[in-house]
A and B are shown apart, each in its own frame.
Chain A
Amino acid sequence: MALENRRRVVITGAGCLSCLADSPGGLHAALVAGHSGLKAIELFSTDAIGCHQAGEIRPFDAQAYLPDRNLRPIDRTSRLLLVAAGKALAASGRPLEVAERDDGEIGLVLGTTFCSLRTIAEFDRRNLQLGPSYASPLDFANSVINAAAGQAAIWFGLRGLNSTISAGAASGLAAVGYATDQIRGGRANALLAGGAEELCFESFFGHYQAGRLCGSAGNRNEEKGEVPIPFDARRNGFALAEGAALMMLEDAAAAAERGAPVLAEVLGHGSGFDPLGTPESAARAVARAIRLALEEAGLGPLDVDALSAGANGSVDADRWEAAGVAAALGARAEILPVTAVKSMLGEALGASGGLQLVALLGTLEDGVLPGILGLEQTEEGFPFPGASPNARRLPGHRGSGAVTALATTLSADGHAWAVLLGSWRGSA
């Protein structure tokens, strides 16, 4: 579709919950200050596991954010989502009076890997222990992977388009891409998009047994122990985390009509998949994702001011993602400011993409990109000399103060996604 005739998609509000902060501004400040949200787990016992640290959200009292309503039927994943959704709706001024072009309804596109693996497993275990007649009906309702999106729709009356997308750590970026397509295609005017994922024993244990965590038995880095250090030569896995992050995506014209403040524009998105599990195939998938995002935006590598990589400390994926970005951006990679916020947030799977983008909103506003906490030595051939452990102000962006920032992810299973955000530059 020609750029001139195409509907533009803007972000008019955001809400988030993470181990570091429960607001977009708080998140950006904490990341820029180099704080880590990783801590000893209290949510469940880690006695049976050799790893004890994660990006747990603590304290988390959903009732404090959502007073006066019954939370019993709502499990942790859904609670995280409800809180983030409420914040995003409030921040965007809840556009109930959207133009009559459609029925004025708000929808939700949610990225999640498991929804609630805990609910599913507990439902099953209760059945095994007490018999099928004592299985929990409420838990069963929450055992479908689209349960959280459904709960949020009921809670807030979101009768617009509602979908759930799963692509591992890339789920959130995928959800934003999907939502962008729906708005450009005229199927929706306002969609909450992002992701949610809870920390639970089953997921943590499973990732540990798969050797993916930075403190997994086969992974333990003698010097660093259980600390994830994306892109660092000593990295040996990621730290699991939880969270929820949603942005209100709207048709730019509709947003202008209701006088909504615009935080950023979604310029483009793209994806790829690595079917072979080789360095070349993985890098190709990432490069494809970026290329498609730039094409959609009508931009080129030189227009990218900053990169928020999804790198989380995984030995191979971090390297392959970097190679893919370098392949797509060419010479631009050599001076590109790069961050990897999972050095501080951990890997929140379905919530990660949303958190990356919400954090970038802060960078778009003040031109400051967080550093990569703990980065000390990169490996040979690492393509980003611009990567630093310290936050930095983006070099003069052509004097206009406008920023174009790229968020990428390469999931553990080969899903590559890219979303390009830009400062809102003009009228719809």
Chain B
Amino acid sequence: MDFILNFWVELGAWFGGLLSSWGLPPWAVDLIADFLGVLILVVCGVMAVLIFTPMERKVIARMQDRPGPNRVWPYGLLQAIADAIKMLTKEDIIPTNADRALHMLAPLIVAIPALLLFAVLPWGPGLIGANLNVGILFIVAVGTIHVLAVLVAGWGSNNKFSLLSAFRVVNQLLAYEIPMVLCILTVVLFTGTMKTQGIVEAQTVPYFIVMPVAALIFLISALAEANRSPVDLLEADSEIVAGYMVEYSGMKFAMFFIAEYVNMFATGIIFATLFLGGWKFFGLEDVAPVLTPVIVFLKATFVIFLMLWFRATYPRMRFDHLVGFAWKFLVPLALVNLFLGAAVVKITANVWGQAVLMLVGNIVLAAAALFIVNRAARKLKDAPALKRIVAVER
């Protein structure tokens, strides 16, 4: 029975033992085990694309009251594989006068951060690529490479729309990074550690209950970071066709596509780690540690479902609204929330006391924020039309 309970730890130990029994030196055993671990993590990340693309198309289709893909057996669930074959057989086009080297480089750069993220995502107690001291900071730091990839793709395509999309990077990716980091900081204040494992272990109450404001800001920012509708200004099909991806075809486009979904999956796991208690689920993780990766996966799927729900529900945001929303609303709110968190941690060291205080503070904060925004909106609504336009443009 113990074997089933601690399946993953036993599996690792058994595999290491097997390698040693073949007479390999310890460093070779470590090397092979590490290499296999990396391979499994990366392949899991990429394979998730095969699950989440059909899921996205089916879920969005249901919300829009249409069947969605239903030709590829069964229920169109193999659509992703059909798409992959289509991508592979497409012609590879490099635009004339484009910067050839950079054009080829961008799809590679975009895949690196998406896959690197999986190094620090916790799948269970001890089930993690590398339990870095600075795990959560690693996630933020690696995420910035994504910005670079977009810039390189935008510049390397020799296309006006691509370049415009590259300029939008600052407005979207950089602006939304700030509230995101502030929310992560609030969580780190409570856990006292930046290890992703430690953050899960420190959550006796899932933090989305303790600090709903931080969770919501993080979700919105993560949506913008993953470049998902309604905040997909880098792609913006209706304005700049597909932005930095417009000149990419075949496998190179597929790399961007895969990176986007891997990013989404990683975002789901990060949100689950920070706010939903990671691999914890009402004590189930103690009863059956073998299930922890399943719990993490289901929580991540739930977060991705939320993101799809957002996409199906809200209209796309206008350019200036998007920037204004980040700088004038999310950043101040996240800052106040951070101060609140610091004060609460200073007032009491008791976990439950902290949770209750933070929850009450968050509710007051949310009410105040909504009141202020509501009043500003009403003022805007009552103003004459011309004045309203001027006010919005400022």
Chain A bound to chain B:
no
Residues of chain A having any CB pair with chain B under 8 Å: none
